[in-house]
Amino acid sequence: MAERGCDLRAWIVWAGAASVLAMLTRNPLYALLLILVARLVDAACGRPERGIALPWARLALVVLLLSAIFNGLFVHTGETVLGRLPESWPLVGGIITLEALVYGLTTGLVLLALLAIFVAFNHIVPVSDLVRLAPRAFHDLGVVVLVAVTYVPETVRHLSQVREAQAIRGHQIRGLRDWQPLLVPLLVGGMERAMGLAEAMVARGYGAAASRAQQPGMLLGLAVGLSLTLAGWLLALWRGAAGWLLFAAGALLLVGLLWRQGRAVAHTQYRPHPWQPADTAIALASLLALALALWQGVSLMGYTPYPLVQLPPLSPIVGGALLLLALPAFLCPQHQGRHV
């Protein structure tokens, strides 16, 4: 068993703060800095075998090119004219400007930053830990979600093993006809591995719960809560405040019933996960980075190349705040083991 890494809750705070910062910024320098930080944390704390390995160079090239071309064809604003399409062409007809292409590249960088953050989170955090945070009332649903989430990466790993075995035998997959005898075993193998992971989690106590029959009062309360929530949402379209009050009452009733249902479930844990000082440091650094960026103002996070393209500004405070998100790379173990 490899050394345990930081707590899942600290990683959720890190990913949440980094994602909010990525969605707030339109500055290509900040987006590029977030990508580098996420890749650094992924390389230091994650394990590539937990997820699908992405060809980052080709992926970045495709995303940036498509984003720039799409924005350049459909947005005809800016002073630096690079070309002109016939006005008779619907939607795309008009001038093509450097400013539109630059704004498209900026949008592509933001998308890549969000992707890098969530890929790092996926490589670092085991799926079993995500299921462990599910409310006790949703234990059965958590196991189903576990099987669904792990099916794709397990199938990819099985595909890699099949291709290695075929290469050892001297067989190369060249076309669709070569895939036909491998497709069904590949899909079945991925499902078997995902089911095995779910069974291992339940057998080792991840969210283990004794089955209990649903009480009629609980089912009636859930039906009433759902009805109040739906009626309040519909009423809010015409009555405003009265509808929102009814919506809030139904939502509170549902939350209370689910909390009570969860309290009635006997819950065990195979391995406890205590909160450690490194988790506190990661959570505080992430929240501090978000607070500093918001304190400087959303306007400093933004950038627009219109009407004339220019170099994006760089605030030392905002840049330093984004660098705080790289702290997990120095606090967490180099390789974190699975908890299954």
- In this model, does residue 261 exceed pLDDT 80? no
- Mind listing the pLDDT tens digit for each residue in 214-244? 577 777 888 888 888 888 888 887 777 788 8
Using CA atoms, how far apart are residues 163 and 168, in angstroms rounded to an integer? 9
Is this prediction's pTM over 0.85? Answer: no
- In this model, does residue 82 exceed pLDDT 80? yes
pLDDT band at 269 (very low <50, low <70, confident <90, very high): low
| Alpha helices (H) in the chain, listed in sequence order | 8-24, 28-45, 56-74, 98-124, 127-132, 139-168, 176-203, 216-239, 241-263, 277-296, 298-301, 316-323, 328-331
- Mind listing the pLDDT tens digit for each residue in 126-142? 776 776 676 766 766 66
Among 24-38, 104-118, 271-285, the minimum mean pLDDT is found in: 271-285
Question: Which pLDDT belongs to residue 56?
Answer: 83
- Mind listing the pLDDT tens digit for each residue in 238-248? 777 788 888 88
Q: Return the top range by mean pLDDT from 155-159, 282-286, 301-305.
A: 282-286
Using CA atoms, how far apart are residues 125 and 136, in angstroms rounded to an integer? 20
Distances (CA, A) of 173 to 153, 170, 180, 182, 192: 21, 10, 10, 10, 24
Q: What are phi and psi of 162, to 5 degrees?
A: -65, -40
Residue 168: CB atoms within 10 A of its CB come to 8
